[in-house]
């Protein structure tokens, strides 16, 4: 196992963190009120446990069995890791409410941060392989133990360095004094900030990584939209990608080939309104919206293109006479200016044009990707059904387009 890069299981987050988390460090998942940050640590813990590591979860906001139940809602079961001894809770909650606890490790004086430190050191000493340590709420620590309790973060970091552990702390930014916020920021080696933006009544959540001390370079602090799926965990969320192109180019084939679920509105075997598909790929969660190709449906194009974050233009690489129509559809859908790729379908046919020939005939800038795709199968005796495209081809389309969008 690579002790220098501790993967989160969220690929785009790993990239922003310069390859993942680091041993001997503290990363704070910093959320605005109303935004969930605990699913991020659930995702990371499960990924680490599956990779053979161990996890310690310090609870101070809720019962340990409540956390275990929440993790199950995402399709994960940590009970087997508890049985093996590779995962455990440190209960710093029951002592706050004077309730009994079934956990092996209990902090009876939970309002004393030094008592948490002593228990944590005992557990870290007992665990042999690399440890992820989660503390579920800096906010609760402050509320119950006072601002002075933040000094204990320095002691916890010393323990992480000594025992080759990685600390992940959750924090919700309630209206605290600026000095408290600055103290938390100074204690963190990395900060993953969870925010939200409201666009036309649609609330979108996103994360940024404004601080990574170990990255060695300036962070651009890009906004990465995400959603929390049950089951599934954290997914980078692209709410709308438009799939457009001329009639019979293969838009339905593209949407149906890559989607985990897809529907079409059809009449006499061809799409008359739209295709809708959903894709989960490499940590991304994406909704695809396909347009009809016939000119009589052009009034729908602008409506369908609204709020899209990227565009896939499907063309028939054997039919250059339809290329002007493809560019016209881009314009009518108000998609010019958005990241887009050209998907050259039917690229394996004898009279198919090469990407260079397509670029020249469509007069496309050099930076616009043109990606050939081919059919894996055409339904025998069911020619009206969408062909199945090769997954490696359509995945290449997503790899390129996602890199342009995010």
**DSSP string for residues in 386-406:** PPEEPHHHHHHHHHHHHHHH-
Number of folded domains in the chain?
A: 2
> Quick one: pLDDT band at residue 330, thresholds 50, 70, 90?
confident
349 DSSP 8-state letter:
S
146 found inside a domain: yes
Confidence class for position 174, pLDDT limits 50, 70, 90: confident
The 10s digit of each residue's pLDDT in 22-76 is: 999 999 999 988 788 999 999 999 999 998 889 999 999 889 999 999 999 888 9
* Residues 45, 167 within the same domain: yes
In a domain, 328, yes or no: yes
- Judge if 183 and 318 occupy the same domain: no
Question: Chain-centre distance of CA 199, in angstroms?
Answer: 20
Tell me the average pLDDT of the chain: 84
pLDDT attached to residue 267: 46
Helix (H, G, I), strand (E, B) or coil at 276: strand
Give the end of a domain, one of 209, 231, 253: 231
Same domain, yes or no, for 307 and 162?
no
Q: Are 61 and 93 in contact (CB under 8 A)?
A: yes
Antiparallel, parallel or unpaired: β 54-59 and 87-91: parallel
pLDDT for the residue 130:
63
Highest mean pLDDT among 103-117, 214-228, 249-263: 103-117
Residue 393 lies in domain:
237-405
What's the pLDDT score for residue 262? 59
pTM exceeds 0.75 for this model: no
Q: From CA 406, how far away is CA 403, in angstroms rounded?
A: 6
Question: Mean per-residue pLDDT for 255-264?
Answer: 73
Asked whether residue 6 is assigned to any structural domain, the reply reads no
pLDDT score for 263: 61
Are 140 and 187 members of one domain? yes
Q: What is the mean pLDDT of residues 236-255?
A: 85
């Amino acid at each position: 196992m690579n002790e220098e890069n501790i993967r989160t299981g969220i690929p785009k987050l790993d990239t922003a963190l310069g390859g993942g988390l680091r041993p001997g460090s503290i990363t704070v998942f910093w959320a605005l009120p109303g935004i969930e940050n605990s699913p991020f640590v659930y995702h990371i813990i499960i990924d680490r446990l599956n990779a053979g590591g161990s996890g310690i979860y310090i609870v101070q906001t809720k019962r340990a069995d409540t956390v275990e139940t929440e993790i199950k809602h995402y399709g994960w079961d940590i009970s087997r890791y508890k049985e093996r001894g590779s995962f455990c809770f440190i209960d710093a909650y029951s002592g706050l409410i004077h309730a009994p606890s079934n956990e092996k490790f209990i902090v009876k004086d939970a309002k004393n941060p030094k008592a948490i430190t002593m228990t944590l050191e005992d557990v870290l000493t007992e665990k042999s392989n690399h440890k992820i340590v989660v503390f579920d709420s800096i906010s609760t620590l402050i509320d119950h133990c006072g601002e002075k309790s933040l000094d204990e973060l320095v002691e916890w970091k010393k323990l992480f360095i000594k025992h080759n552990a990685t600390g992940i702390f959750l924090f919700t930014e309630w209206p605290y004094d600026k000095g408290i916020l600055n103290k938390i920021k100074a204690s963190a080696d990395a900060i993953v900030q969870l925010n939200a933006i409201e666009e036309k009544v649609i609330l979108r959540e996103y994360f940024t990584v404004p601080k990574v001390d170990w990255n060695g370079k300036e962070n651009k602090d890009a906004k990465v939209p995400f959603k929390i799926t049950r089951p599934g965990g954290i997914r980078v969320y692209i709410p709308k990608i438009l799939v457009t192109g001329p009639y019979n180019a293969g838009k339905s084939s593209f949407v149906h080939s890559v989607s985990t679920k897809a529907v079409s509105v059809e009449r006499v075997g061809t799409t008359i309104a739209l295709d809708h598909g959903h894709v989960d790929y490499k940590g991304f969660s994406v909704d695809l919206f396909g347009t009809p190709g016939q000119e009589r449906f052009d009034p729908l194009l602008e409506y369908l293109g609204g709020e899209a974050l990227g565009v896939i233009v499907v063309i028939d690489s054997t039919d250059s006479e339809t290329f002007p129509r493809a560019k016209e559809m881009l314009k009518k859908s108000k998609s010019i200016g958005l990241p887009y790729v050209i998907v050259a379908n039917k690229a394996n046919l004898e009279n198919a044009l090469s990407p260079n020939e397509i670029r020249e005939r469509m007069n496309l800038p050099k930076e616009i990707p043109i990606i050939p795709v081919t059919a894996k199968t055409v339904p025998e005796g069911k020619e009206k059904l969408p062909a199945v495209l090769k997954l490696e081809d359509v995945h290449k389309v997503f790899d390129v387009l996602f890199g342009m969008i995010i």
